[in-house]
Amino acid sequence: MSFVEEKDISSEHDNERSSSSEDLEDCPLTGEENVFPLRRRRWLAWPTSNSPFWKFYSIFMTAFSLLLLVTTIHSSTSSSKCSEDEPHSSHPHSPNPLEGYPHAVDSWKKSNLIEHRFFRDLRYMSLDPNTDYLWKEHLFMATGNIQLPDGKGNTTLKGIAMFHQMHCLAKMRMVMQLAKKGVDIGTDWRDDAHWPHCFDYLRESIMCNADPTLESVSLQPGPLDNGKFVKVIDGGSELRYCRDTRPLYELERRYGPNSQYGFANDKFEVAPGK
């Protein structure tokens, strides 16, 4: 190819490049007419008050709030009712350990009395040593003594009267067993101050309680096994109104020898003597 031909070819390419540059000049990049507007992000519009969704949402939240309110009120009422129905009981850490304990006057109120009938329990109608186990806990007064805390780290020794009376009854039974074996049990307080004290103590306790029940006469088998019946007043046919013993056992359980307070450190005697 000659120089002239190459020049002609170059001229043709130059014309092409020239036309391309002209095209760029005819379409400038900075022209305002070719600036594309920015597309803005479209946010979802909140439902209006007239929309079905908003109505459903309002109804749901109202029902949920009412349900929560009713549940809270019911729970509060139930808790208050349960606390009122529960009987007051003494607690080892309570500032007043006798809270809820029936005092002498209150124990005779009708609401604190229970209906009861006496019945013949042959186990307690015997001096047989085989029945000693029924009296063992009362004989040495292992029950009925309590240590009442004052909330300041100190305790006071007390004895529950019912257990003291049971102790005296067990003591008199033991003395009768000794007399049956031929042991000289003495005559009065000058020989032994214990069982004579129990005689008098039980007498006063019986008089203090003054049971007004009117007991009827009934027919019972006689002392001889001959088929004959005798008229007796054994007190087993009448309905009685008795004081409840459960609060006494509960107090003894909380503050007695088997509780966290244990036995008393200071020695004492129910009555001096053997």
Provide DSSP, 137-189.
Answer: HHHTT-SSEEEEE-SSS-EEEEE-HHHHHHHHHHHHHHHHHHHHTT----SST
**Residue 32 pLDDT:** 53
pLDDT for the residue numbered 158:
87
Q: Is the pLDDT of residue 87 over 80?
A: no
Q: What is the pLDDT of residue 263?
A: 62
Task: Place 202 in a pLDDT band, splitting at 50, 70 and 90.
Answer: very high
Q: What is the mean pLDDT of residues 191-201?
A: 93
Q: How far is CA 24 from CA 20, 32, 35, in A?
A: 6, 16, 16
**pLDDT per residue over 206-239, tens digit each?**
999 898 999 999 888 877 778 888 888 888 888 9
User: Which pLDDT score is estimated for 47?
Assistant: 58
Distance CA 143, CA 156 (A): 16
Indicate the pairing of strand 218-221 with strand 229-232.
Answer: antiparallel
In this predicted structure, what is the pLDDT of residue 33?
Answer: 52
The mean pLDDT of 7-26, rounded to a whole number, is: 49
Tell me the C-alpha distance between 240 and 247, whole Å: 19
Q: What's the pTM?
A: 0.58
pLDDT of residue 199: 93
- pLDDT tens digit sequence for 92-150: 445 677 776 766 666 667 777 888 898 888 999 999 999 999 999 888 777 788 888 88
Span 37-84, pLDDT tens digits: 556 666 555 555 666 766 677 777 888 888 888 888 877 766 555 544
Domain ranges of the chain: 98-255
pLDDT at 191: 93
* pLDDT at residue 91, rounded to an integer: 44
User: Any idea how long the chain is?
Assistant: 274
| pLDDT for position 36 | 53
User: Across residues 228-253, what is the average pLDDT?
Assistant: 88
The span from the CA of 166 to the CA of 138, in Å, is 6
Residue 88's pLDDT is 43
